Structure 1
Amino acid sequence: MAKTAEDAAYAKATGRPLKSFLLGLTAGGYIALGFVFFTTSQVGAADLPYGVAKVLGGVVFATGLVLVVLTGAELFTSSTLTLTARASGRITWGQLLRNWGVVYVANFLGALTIVALVYLGGTWRNADGGWGAVVLTTSLSKVSHGFLEAFVLGVLCNLMVCLAIWAAYSGRTTTDKIFAVTMPIALFVAAGFEHSVANMFMVPLGLLIKTTAGADFWSGAGLVEGDYAGLTVEAFLADNLLPVTLGNIVGGGVMIGVLYWTIFHHVDGAKQAPERGGKGVASGAGF
């Protein structure tokens, strides 16, 4: 699994940027669709016990990452695992950062594409505005974290996302991969951890609804427009997207990617070196 993860990371970082961009567009769209499913599951869920509603939302949201894994799309949060290939000296920092940048922008554009489709399709007006109310409430909660809190929630989220990806490498069938991915993703969503790419869909949609919705929407949904004054573009970028992205890098790239590289490549390599005539890990490996 460790070798497969490193090989996948190497292939991503050394592949054609256009391919990464196009696969990044699809990944952003799939994660956004997972949040569409999540939002639908939460309409009227206030009548359920808190934990039941959250777990339900988490399980259905996992659809997004399942689609990413099964189609080979490129998602920024899982692309943080390219740090394993960097640790082995197989790619340069330039290649790593180029891949991250291309995929991050593509994910954002893919998520915004679904924002536009959902908005223009009027989905946010479903259930007498109840669907849009879930988006607004969720978006406001996401921009209300302090910087450190958002960062830590980003760390916790990508611990689970990259564990899900890592576990999926062990799968031999489609069913294996779906089961490997679903529960770790359900855990992070149910617990309220923060995923940068998912937020690229939810918060912009919340901002769009807040800015354009008429009085009929607010009254029908039972909401007061002034209660959402804190939902702004500035709050989204500075209080959510920036710290969550940094946390995702640490949680996935460092705490999963580099940790497992250290265990299976560096530590095992050093242990097996005498058996290989003292060759050990290839020279030049490392950061």
Structure 2
Amino acid sequence: MSDTASTAPDVHPPKKIARQATSKGEKKAGLDLPVLVALGLLAGAYIAFGGLFALVALAGTSEAVPFGPAQVLAGVVFSLGLILVLVGGAELFTGNTLLVVAWAEGRAGFAPVLWALAVAYVTNFLGSVAIAALGFAAGVHLGGDGAVGVAALNLAERKVELDFGTALASGIAANMLVCLAVWLAFGARSAADKVLVIIPPIAAFVAMGLEHSVANMSLIPFAWMVQDLAAPEFWVQAGLDPERSVIGLGGFIANLVAATIGNVIGGGLVGAAYWFAYLRPKEEEG
């Protein structure tokens, strides 16, 4: 076998991935509440770490790096979050929209699926905000003479200013890519293979500036903390007006609602399409 072939990710065929998704979905829908809470908190924390990493990658790039390469770099490093979720094990709301496959196969009831998604959403939020607060307390926003904080403010301000339709469409596209990363990871045979298949779809959604509800649960609050709580020296270093106040509760909620609805639609579309292609009952030929 050539060196090129030996380093390519080893992934199960699509039909076997669909069966894996069904099996995993059944297990996820049956998790005990304490386990689901713990793993949901971890997933929110992991995605938040990926978000903070991406902000560091974006810091100062507007002056030195063209937009496209900077976005791709941010996407690659943001992949850390989903890698931690899928390799380490955690319950991520957006990826768990693929539970629709187990429901369609009759392996998980509608109520348990809805409950698992609801608990994951709430705990993802709590874990995300906790890491955003921890990052702010640790002074992450002060990195690069305040460049990280500036990157956070610029990104969050763009997000809260999106109209509902744009954020909805963006959320659909974002979670299609996230769920494709999860789907491919279901079929990966090793941790290294999982990492290799996760990075491209995640890098793509971040590079395109799409809306991921769980990522925004940390990115917007972190920037909000910078806006309202940063010390005067930050504003001096950053060269910004300390009175700027674009990020608020209304904008955060509006973004989260639109992104969440879009994420549910996007993930549901991916799961439903693969169920239809590989798992739906076939009519017997007469």
Structure 1-normalised TM-score?
Answer: 0.91
Partners of 1:6 and 1:232 in 2: CA distance: 40
User: 1:160 touches 1:188 (CA, 8 Å); kept in 2?
Assistant: yes
Where does structure 2 lack aligned partners over 5 or more consecutive residues? Answer: 1-16
Provide Cα deviations, 1:59-88, integer angstroms capped at 9, x if missing partner. 011011011110121100001011111112
Q: Distance in 1 between matches of 2:198 and 2:216?
A: 19
Pick the aligned partner of 2:37 from 10, 15, 21. 21
Q: CA deviation at 1:213?
A: 1.9
Native 8 Å contact 2:60 2:148 kept in 1: no
In the alignment, does 2:101 pair up with 1:89?
A: no
Map 1:49-68 onto structure 2 (within 5 A).
Answer: 49-68=66-85
Q: 2:197 aligns with which of 180, 190, 199?
A: 180
Give 1:194 deviation, angstroms. Answer: 0.7
Once residues 159 and 62 of structure 1 are traced to their aligned partners in structure 2, the CA distance between those partners, rounded to angstroms, is 15
Alpha-carbon shift at residue 226 of structure 1 (Å): 4.1
Alignment correspondent of 2:251: 235
Q: Deviations over 1:218-266 (max 9, x none)?
A: 1210112344x3210111002x00000000000012x101111111111
Find out whether 1:35 has 2:51 as its counterpart.
yes
Query: Is 1:150 matched up with 2:167?
Result: yes
Partners of 1:17 and 1:263 lie apart in 2 by: 33
Is the Cα–Cα contact under 8 Å of residues 20 and 187 in structure 2 kept in the other structure?
no
Q: Name the SS of the counterpart of 1:111 in structure 2.
A: helix
Equivalent residues, number: 269
Equivalent runs, 1:107-146 vs 2, <5 Å: 107-146=124-163
1:246 — aligned with what?
A: 261
Report the TM-score when normalising by structure 2: 0.91
The one-letter amino acid of 1:211's match is: D
1:261 maps to 275
Q: In structure 2, what is the Cα distance between the partners aligned to 1:93 and 1:261?
A: 16
Residue 282 (structure 2) aligned to one of 240, 254, 270: 270
| 1:224 partner amino acid | D
Matches of 2:107 and 2:59, distance apart in 1? 47
Give deviations 1:184-209, integer Å, cap 9, x for gaps. 00000000011100100010111111
Give unmatched runs, 5+ long, in structure 1.
Answer: 279-287
Counterpart of 1:8 (choices 5, 24, 36) is 24
Do the aligned residues in 2 keep the contact of 1:115 with 1:201 (CA within 8 Å)?
A: yes
The match for 2:187 among 165, 170, 174 is 170
Q: RMSD of the alignment, in Å?
A: 1.3
User: Percent identity at matched positions?
Assistant: 39
How far, CA to CA, are the matches of 2:102 and 2:137 in structure 1?
42
